[in-house]
């Protein structure tokens, strides 16, 4: 009897949930129809804009690793050891090529910025100067440490700041095709804010349909979840259509899941106020899938190399001065968590960073805002060190040990050296399967090539020594054998070290920590 009652109870609860979901979907469909019928009146294609009065560049900030989710200091100013602020995001295309990211800001109209009471998001540099004032900035170049000056005018403009978060969930490296596949979750958002006396019809209608009372009489606002086809058919403000990855190779459409979420907030809802919301309406685009990115692996230091994986997200709809991306701390936290878990097979993640990087394509008239998600990885070299390089060294040692066999036993000597040479050739085929066809030699290629040369030398020494001993020239034979034993394998090891050091010095940025000290 008890089991039957539990089953009936579960069916009843499931029915209530299903009814609530169906009712919510019906309300959302009615809201969507209302928007379609009053498209022009509601200004649905208008994107949120904010009036700003800025110099066209921002101060560099960095993520505060000690911060928590509810901490106000999630992002903090990035200063050098002397306390000077750094140039961060460039927000005006006229300044591109004139000032550069991470250049130090020495002064502004003679004012030492370190002595000003500048606060991130609260009291920034623009508040210390008048509107339309021309300010002479002194910068110090991050590349050559030279000071330079630039006069910049403080100007008013209207800019849209869509949130653009990218959450990295998985990465798989494809070296042979110069690509990497990333499992990503995307969240692009437009956020419309309204004053008490200036509600827009799109917000008013959303509250009319979605404002509810819970069982305790407290107000809350529901949300509407739409498919990509449903929302895109509305031709309204659409964060999902604005952005694309500049270095994308392909997207697995079979695994791509997309949706749009519309959610209103109100100061009349205590829970919204508690979470920091005002009278706002958000339109979120969500996507989850496998994205394949083009890259250019530099393998000259293989297998002691490190690489940089870059995903360059670009706003392709509005030029830099009209729309600028805003990446929240959630992207950085997910990226840090991904790095700590280190889930890339065969690689160690050693660092990650988010940098704003304006983009202008070969056929573009304007610059567009963009952000780069960078992950620096270092190859796990133990496999190659212990299963490839060390066996090669042992094979060469065995090959040169043939010199300790008497020169008269030429058959025994040649058997040892030829078998060693064939073993090296087999190893070359093993490595060749894992790498693309390169126009340059890697460290491992140089090691194998040098090993080929050093594997053939004992062959010629054996033949030459046998000829000397056969012609009764014992003294010369003894001298040749002695030189071979003394300098043969020793010179091989020295040349291997020189090869590694040479490659590190011509390409230090791609050298792993194991060999970077040679640079």
Cα gap 359→119, rounded to integer Å: 29
CA atoms within a 13 Å half-sphere pointing along the CA-CB vector of 42: 21
Please name the fold of domain 50-159.
Pdz3 Domain (2.30.42)
- Write the burial class of residue 213 (CB in 10 Å: 0-12 exposed, 13-18 middle, 19+ buried): exposed
Contact 135, 151 (CB under 8 A): yes
Name the H helices within 211-287. Answer: 228-234, 270-274
Distances (CA, A) of 174 to 178, 179, 182, 293, 399: 6, 5, 11, 10, 36
CATH placement of domain 163-378: 2.70.170.10
DSSP state of 48: P
CA–centroid distance for 338 within its chain: 11
Q: What is the pLDDT of residues 115-133, one digit of tens each?
A: 988 888 888 888 899 888 8
Q: What is the pLDDT of residues 186-216, one digit of tens each?
A: 999 999 988 766 678 889 899 999 998 887 8
Cα gap 101→123, rounded to integer Å: 21
* pLDDT in the model for residue 24: 63
How many residues in total does the chain contain?
519
* pLDDT in the model for residue 158: 92
The beta strand positions in 144-194, using DSSP E, are 147-153, 155-159, 163-174, 179-193
- Write the burial class of residue 129 (CB in 10 Å: 0-12 exposed, 13-18 middle, 19+ buried): middle
Handedness of CA 38, 41, 46, 51 (dihedral sign): negative
338: left (phi over 0), alpha (psi -120 to 50) or beta: alpha
> Any idea where the domains of the chain sit in the sequence?
50-159, 163-378, 383-518
Q: Write out the H or E segment, with its range, that includes residue 307.
A: strand 306-315
Nearest residue to 258 (alpha-carbon basis) of 226, 292, 283: 226
Contact 462, 410 (CB under 8 A): yes
* pLDDT in the model for residue 17: 40
Nearest residue to 305 (alpha-carbon basis) of 514, 519, 502, 517: 514
> Identical fold at 163-378 and 383-518?
no
Q: What is the DSSP string of 216-232?
A: TS-EEE--EEE-HHHHH
Q: For the CA atoms of 361, 363, 369, 373, what is the dihedral angle to 10 degrees?
A: -30
Please name the fold of domain 383-518.
Methane Monooxygenase Hydroxylase; Chain G, domain 1 (1.20.58)
Work out the angle at residue 78's Cα, subtended by the Cα atoms of residues 76 and 80, and round it to the nearest 5 degrees: 145
Contact 427, 392 (CB under 8 A): yes
* pLDDT in the model for residue 197: 62
Q: Which residues pair with 152 in a beta bridge?
A: 135
Cα gap 175→171, rounded to integer Å: 13
Parts of the chain with a pLDDT under 50: 1-22
């Amino acid at each position: 009897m008890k089991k039957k009652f539990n089953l009936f109870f579960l069916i009843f609860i499931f029915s209530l949930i299903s009814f609530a979901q169906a009712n919510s979907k019906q309300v959302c469909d009615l809201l969507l129809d209302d928007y379609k019928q009053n498209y022009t009146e509601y200004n649905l294609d208008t994107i949120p804009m904010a009036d700003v009065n800025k110099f066209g560049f921002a101060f560099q900030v960095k993520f505060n690793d000690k911060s928590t989710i509810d901490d106000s200091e999630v992002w903090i100013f990035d200063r050098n050891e002397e306390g000077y602020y750094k140039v961060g995001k460039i927000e005006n295309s006229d300044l591109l090529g004139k000032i550069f990211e991470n250049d130090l800001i020495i002064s502004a109209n003679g004012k030492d910025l370190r002595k000003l009471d500048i606060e991130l998001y609260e009291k920034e540099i623009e508040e210390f100067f008048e509107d339309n004032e021309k300010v002479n900035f002194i910068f110090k170049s991050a590349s050559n440490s030279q000071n330079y000056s630039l006069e910049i005018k403080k100007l008013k403009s209207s800019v849209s700041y869509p949130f653009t978060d990218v959450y990295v969930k998985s990465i798989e490296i494809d070296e042979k095709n110069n690509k990497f596949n990333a499992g990503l979750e995307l969240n692009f958002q437009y956020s419309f804010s309204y004053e008490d006396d200036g509600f827009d019809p799109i917000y008013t209608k959303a509250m009319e349909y979605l404002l509810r009372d819970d069982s305790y009489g407290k107000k809350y606002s529901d949300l509407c979840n739409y498919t990509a086809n449903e929302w895109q058919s509305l031709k309204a403000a659409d964060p999902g259509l604005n952005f694309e990855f500049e270095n994308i190779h392909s997207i697995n459409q079979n695994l791509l899941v997309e949706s749009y979420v519309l959610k209103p907030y109100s100061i009349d809802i205590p829970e919204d106020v508690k979470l920091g919301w005002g009278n706002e309406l958000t339109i979120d685009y969500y996507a989850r899938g496998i994205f394949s990115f083009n890259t250019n692996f530099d393998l000259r230091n293989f297998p002691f190399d490190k690489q940089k994986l870059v995903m360059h997200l670009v706003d392709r709809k509005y030029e830099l001065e009209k729309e600028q991306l805003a990446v929240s701390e959630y992207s950085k936290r997910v990226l840090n968590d991904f790095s700590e878990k280190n889930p890339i097979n065969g690689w160690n993640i050693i660092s990650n960073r988010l940098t704003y990087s304006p983009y202008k394509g070969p056929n573009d008239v304007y610059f567009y805002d963009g952000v780069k998600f960078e992950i620096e990885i270092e190859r796990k070299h133990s496999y190659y060190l212990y299963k490839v390089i060390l066996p090669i060294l042992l094979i060469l040692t065995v090959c040169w040990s043939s010199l300790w066999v008497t020169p008269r036993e030429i058959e025994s000597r040649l058997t040892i050296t030829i078998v060693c040479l064939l073993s090296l050739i087999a190893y070359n085929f093993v490595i060749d399967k894992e790498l693309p066809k390169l126009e340059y030699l890697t460290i491992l290629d140089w090691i194998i090539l040098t090993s080929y040369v050093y594997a053939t030398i004992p062959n010629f020494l054996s033949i030459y020594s046998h000829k000397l001993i056969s012609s009764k020239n014992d003294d010369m034979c003894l001298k040749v054998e002695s030189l071979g034993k003394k300098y043969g394998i020793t010179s091989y090891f020295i040349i291997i070290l020189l090869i590694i050091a040479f490659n590190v010095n011509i390409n230090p940025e791609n050298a792993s920590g194991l060999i970077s000290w040679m640079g």
